[in-house]
Amino acid sequence: MKFYRLIFLLIVIIAGWNNASAQVTDEVKFPPKGKNDTIKVAGTNVGGEMIPWIPLHEVAIYGVRIFKSPAERAAYNRLRYNVMKVMPYALFAKRRYEQLERDIATTTNKREQKKLIKACDAEIKQMFNKEIKELTITQGKILTKLVDRELGRTTFDIVKQTKGGLTAFVYQSVARVVGHNLKSTYDPQEDKDIEAIIASSGFYR
C-alpha cells in the first residue's frame, strides 16, 4: 500500500515539474511594432502576452470655487497674489536651513559651526535687503506662517536656535511693533485657503 502511495506522489511531483517547465519555456508574445515605435517602455507578462505600459505623473483635479460675492472673490485673489509672492522665499529658507543643518552635522568644532551659521545669516540678510524688505505687512505675516509650514518650526524658533534666545526676543519685539509675529504657526485647517492655493500653484511639480 505504501509503495503505491509513493508511486502516486512521484507522478504528482513529475507532472507538476513538467507543467512548471512548460510555463517557463513558453514563448512570450510581444505586441507588434509600428514604424515609429522607437521608445522603450516597461512591460508586464500577462498570461504569456507582454503588455507595455508607462508611468504617468499624478494628476490633481480641483473643483471650481464659487464665490458668494465680488468682494469675496477679490479678497481671495489678493490672498493668492500674496501667497505666490512670498512662497519662493519660504522655499528658499527651507532649502538654506536644511543645508545649514547638514553642514553643522559634519563638524563638532564650535568655531566652524559659528562660521556656517554666520554664512547662512549673511545669505538670508542679502535676500532680505534686496527683496523681502519690500513686502507688505500682510505678506510678511503669510511668510512667517509658510516658514513654519515648510520647516516645521516658527521663525522665532529658527532665530533662537541660530542666534540665541536674546536675539530672538529682540527680533520678536521689533516684529510686533510693525504688526508681525515671528511665533506664527501654520494650520492647514485654519489656513485652508492658503493650502488650496499652494496645492494648485505648481511649486512642488
Max CA-CA distance within the chain?
98
More confident residue, 104 or 41: 104
| Averaged pLDDT of the chain | 76
Instruction: Return the domain boundaries, the chain.
Output: 70-199
Q: Which residue has the cell 520647516?
A: 151
Please state, for a pLDDT cut of 90, what percent of the chain lies above it: 8
Q: Is the pLDDT of residue 157 over 90?
A: no
- pLDDT class of 79 with cuts at 50, 70, 90: very high
Residue-wise pLDDT tens digits, 168-199 = 777 677 667 667 777 888 888 888 899 888 88
- Among 51-55, 56-60, 119-123, 152-156, the minimum mean pLDDT is found in 56-60
- pLDDT class of 25 with cuts at 50, 70, 90: very low
- pLDDT class of 17 with cuts at 50, 70, 90: very low
Q: What is the mean pLDDT of residues 11-39?
A: 59
Q: Where are the beta strands (DSSP E) in 69-161?
A: none
Count CB neighbours of 85 within 10 A. 17
Cβ-Cβ contacts under 8 Å for 53 (sequence gap 6 or more) = 41, 42, 43, 44
Residue-wise pLDDT tens digits, 29-53 = 766 777 777 777 777 888 778 788 8
